Amino acid sequence: MKGVYKSLNENESKLIKKIKKGDHEAFKCLYEKHADYALRTAYSITKNRSDASDIVQETFIKIYRNIESFDMKRPFKPWFYQILINESRSYLSKRSKQAINIESDRLLDQLHRNAKHELQYDELELGLDELDDKDRTILTLKYLNGFTEKEIAKMLGANVNTIKSRLYKGRQRLKVAMGGMKDE
Amino acid sequence: MNEKELDKKIEDELKKDTNSASELKNETWNKINTELFQSPDSHKKKVKKRGIISGLTAAAIVAIAVFGMTDPGQAMIQSLKDMFVEEKEQEIEIEGHKEDSDVQLEANEELRYVIYIDDSRYRMIEGDSSDRIVPEQELADRYPEVSMEIMRKEATTEEMVESIKNSLADNKMELRQEEQVNTPINGVVIRGIGPGYTNEAGKTGQQWDTPIEKYYITETKNNQVFVIKQSYFLEAAEGHGARFDYMLKSFEIVD
């Protein structure tokens, strides 16, 4: 999954052409290709499994309904992730207005994760949890999805220097969370 | 720990931390499949109430608009708001200081334009024939008006220039600028400043509260013009005046 799509690779281009013609199987293949990291990304941003699933569902539905408008000369992955990030932000903004539910959902997710990880939390995991939504989104796009700072800036409608500075600060905070010194 | 080791550790941690979400793949597909291919009206491309927010270019937006108009049976009717990033971060420089501001998309379907506004400081008031962006917190009475009004007019640039200059003269405002510009938008700018007076301290001339009106006129593809009228006062030129121009940079006509 790492690396940048400079243009649509041949298989993906074929898939999208088929989807444009209404081929459901091709759409399923596209889903298979991107769903794993899409779910991880949405979860990393929202920290909520149920939201992550809903966000990915909405994103793929939008992709399918808007595939006609997709410009085949442009790379698919940034387009896809821009929609996913926008969906995630909408969910975060909705949830910030429902603070009580967030806490109960988060608690359930925490319990779920604890069971999975057998309480093996480490400092880095806690550090990631403590980052604000924006910094976590940027770190996720860089480290989980392999986007460059320039691509992230374009995707988030931000200045590339802002992204670089947020990445730097995010990494520094994680370093400190792991017991290291800043600029160590 | 060196930088490479830290990068690797962050990457590994993010993967480990998100493993549980990866398990939702089948469940999520089932929901998509039901929504798209198995619900009673799944053969139609539905218009969703909530916006589709994507980063399409203006060219793509036009393509969609055309598509929507030429094939109404199947076409998606996309709202303008759906086509742009809903919120973004902008770096601006106010009175020599750089600051990051979060700007929010505002779209007017009828007038066919979009603009990003700094909603921590301003709000949009929609009118019948124009929209006004005003300070979020109402200013005290002692301050002259502060606003940015966006209007679409059935006129040429020349006609509007004439009309604005007449209006400035009627209000006894002095014309200080009239020129073609390409920033914050392409078009003609006209700036007028209110008359001077003698204040309580005996100083004669323009004062801190002397009103300023700045107009930008930009043409659409349909032989119409957009007129953006900025109203503020002398002391607020580098504050509100500069912020209006930054917001105006994001102004985009979508015909």
Which CB contacts under 8 angstroms, 24+ apart, belong to B50-53? B50/A90, B51/B79, B51/B81, B51/B82, B51/B86, B52/A62, B52/A65, B52/A66, B52/A83, B52/B78, B52/B82, B52/B83, B53/A83, B53/A86, B53/A87, B53/A90, B53/B81, B53/B82, B53/B84, B53/B85, B53/B86
Query: Distance between CA atoms of A175 and B25, rounded to whole angstroms?
Result: 32
Model confidence pLDDT, tens digit, residues B7-63: 888 888 888 888 888 889 999 999 999 988 876 655 444 333 333 333 333 333 333
B28 versus B199: which is more confidently predicted? B28
> Residue A86 has what pLDDT?
85
Proportion of chain B above pLDDT 70, given as a percent: 81
Least confident of A88-97, B6-15, B131-140, B193-202: A88-97
What residues does B123 pair with on adjacent strands? B134
> Residue A110 has what pLDDT?
56
The pTM of the whole model exceeds 0.80? no
Q: Which of residues 94-133 of A touch B (CB under 8 A)?
A: 112-113, 116-117, 122, 124-125, 128
Closest CB from B20, B54, B89 relative to A83: B54
> Residue A6 has what pLDDT?
41
Q: Which of B38, B45, B52 to mutate to test the interface with A (most CBs of A within 10 A)?
A: B52
Model confidence pLDDT, tens digit, residues B204-224: 888 989 999 999 999 998 889
> Residue A157 has what pLDDT?
75
Tokens 């088929």 correspond to A18
Query: Cβ of A180: how many Cβ atoms within 10 Å?
Result: 14
> Residue B125 has what pLDDT?
92
* CB burial string B179-190: b at 16+ within 10 A, e below: eeeeebbebbbb
Least confident of A13-17, A91-95, B70-74, B237-241: B70-74
Model confidence pLDDT, tens digit, residues A21-68: 888 989 999 999 999 999 999 999 998 999 999 999 999 998 998 888
Strands B147-153 and B225-233, how do they pair? Answer: antiparallel
Of the candidates A90, A75, A19, A67, the residue with the CA atom closest to the CA atom of residue B87: A90
> Residue B255 has what pLDDT?
72
* The two structure tokens encoding residue A117: 């990880």
* The two structure tokens encoding residue A38: 């899409």
> Residue A178 has what pLDDT?
74
Interface contact A68-B24, CB threshold 8 A: no
Q: Which of A76, A86, A128 to mutate to test the interface with B (most CBs of B within 10 A)?
A: A86
* The two structure tokens encoding residue B209: 């509260």
| Residues from chain A contacting residue B57 (CB–CB below 8 Å) | 71
**Quick check: B194 and B206 in contact, CB under 8 A?**
yes
* CB burial string A45-65: b at 16+ within 10 A, e below: bbbbbebbbbbbbbbbbbbbb
Of the candidates B113, B118, B151, the residue with the CA atom closest to the CA atom of residue B230: B151
| Residues from chain B contacting residue A23 (CB–CB below 8 Å) | none
Cα distances (angstroms) measured from residue B28 to each of A50, A59, A146, B131: 10, 11, 24, 42
Of the candidates B215, B240, B253, B254, the residue with the CA atom closest to the CA atom of residue B118: B240
> Residue A1 has what pLDDT?
41
Confidence tier at A78 by pLDDT (50, 70, 90) = confident
Confidence tier at A119 by pLDDT (50, 70, 90) = very low
Q: Which amino acid is at A94?
A: K
Interface contact B86-A86, CB threshold 8 A: yes
Cβ–Cβ contact A164 with B under 8 A: no
> Residue B17 has what pLDDT?
85
Query: Distance between CA atoms of A84 and A80, rounded to whole angstroms?
Result: 6
Query: Distance between CA atoms of A74 and B188, rounded to whole angstroms?
Result: 34
Q: Which of residues 9-28 of A touch B (CB under 8 A)?
A: 24, 27-28
